[in-house]
Each structure stands twice: as C-alpha cells, then as structure tokens.
Amino acid sequence: MHYGPVPRRRPERWTFTVGGATHDGQEHVFSLERILALPPSEQLADMHCATRWTALDQRWSGVRAADVIELAPPAPDVREVLVFAEFGYAANVPLDDLASPRALVATHTGGAPLTDERGAPMRLVIPHLYTWKGPKWLRGWNYLRPGEVDLGFWEKRGYHRHGDAWRQERYGYQE
C-alpha cells in the first residue's frame, strides 16, 4: 500500500544518502553494499497503518538504523530527521526513535528478500510508530536543525510528526 509507482530494481545504482545537519557538515553517500555490510539485525513488528489496518507480528531483518547513524552522525543539537524514499515520499521521525535499537533498515521480511512492491531493496521499520513512518524504497535521511520545518508526505497532509502508534498520535493537532 503506497502512493506512486514502484521503482525499477537497480541495486547496483542504489545509493543511501545522509545529509542535512550532519556532525561534520558533509553529505554522506553510501553504496548499498556498505549499508548491507553492517551487522545483521532482526525485529518483530506489528504494522499500524493510521488509516486502514494493522498486521501483527511480521518478522523483519536487515541492519540497525542506529548503525547507519554511526556511519554519518548528526550534529549534537539534532532532534528530528526527515527520512526519504525514491519518488519523493518522506516522513518525519524523531532522532531518538530512529536511533532506537528497534529501528531497522529492513531488506527481508518473513525470511525472504523484500519484493519490489514491499520496498526492495530496503525500507525503514520502526515497530512502535505508524507504518507511514517507514518509507519503502528508502534512499536516506536528512538531519533537521532545531526549528527547521521540512515535512514528509503525510505530515504535510496534517498527520503527526512523531506518530507513536501506542499513543495514537495520528494528527498534527495532537502535537
């Protein structure tokens, strides 16, 4: 379930870019190989779509978003990240949630590689947030400076910048 087309599979050209307020002020571009060389990690996650359904207990594997953060860390005052995908989809995520050991840059689900439809070659999975916070076809993220407002696809349409599913943080007016 997503907005827009499914990208063509071209893993050799897939790059992962970490930009915005990085610690060293530089934009960092990683190859798919560099990301996949990080230690493997797994999570069980329920899928909470804010508008439709919830699927329980999917198994995801990939690498920890925290390990990617370590490759290209944020400036000390960064609290929020704009995570983006192919074709302009993006979502706002608090840095603490992205850095949590549960946040996964997932390449597999149910033991099989992601299909194109499900987000190949990688998607973000943060189990306790609404699923719109998990871009499929993940291409990287930008660290946002305090006070900087750069909104994702659903956040522009009035959805919550944090989006904790257990707190039912669906809409921006709850912030």
Cβ atoms within 10 Å of 139's Cβ, excluding its own: 18
Q: Is 37 in the site for Mo ion (CB under 5 A)?
A: no
Cβ 152 to Mo ion shortest distance, Å: 13
Least distance to Mo ion from the beta carbon of 44, Å? 19
The three-point CA angle 48-108-57 to 5° equals 35
Compute the distance between CA of residue 77 and CA of residue 8 in angstroms, rounded to an integer. 37
Alpha carbon distance 113, 60 (integer Å): 10
CB of residue 117 vs ligand MTE: minimum separation in angstroms? 7
Among the candidate windows 57-65, 80-88, 103-111, 128-136, which touches Mo ion by CB under 5 A?
Answer: 128-136
Instruction: Work out whether strand 54-64 and strand 104-109 pair parallel, antiparallel, or are unpaired.
Output: antiparallel
Smallest distance from the beta carbon of 169 to Mo ion, in angstroms? 14
Segment holding 153, helix H or strand E:
helix 153-156
Q: Which residues of this chain interact with ligand MTE, rule CB under 6 A?
A: 1-3, 49, 85, 89, 118, 131-132, 134-137
Hey, is 128 helix, strand or coil? coil
Nearer to Mo ion, 48 or 108 (CB): 48
Strands (E), the chain: 15-20, 28-31, 40-48, 54-64, 80-85, 90-94, 104-109, 112-113, 123-125, 138-144
Segment near Mo ion (CB under 5 A); pick from 54-62, 98-106, 125-133, 139-147: 125-133
Looking at the Cβ atoms of 18 and 120, the one nearer to ligand MTE is: 120
CB of 75 to ligand MTE, least distance (A): 26
- Residue among 21 and 98 whose Cβ is closer to ligand MTE: 98
Q: Can you tell me the distance from the alpha carbon of 147 to that of 129, in angstroms, rounded to the nearest whole number?
A: 22
Nearer to ligand MTE, 37 or 49 (CB): 49
Binding status of residue 49 toward Mo ion by CB under 5 A: yes
Residues that bind Mo ion in the complex, under the rule CB under 5 A: 49, 132
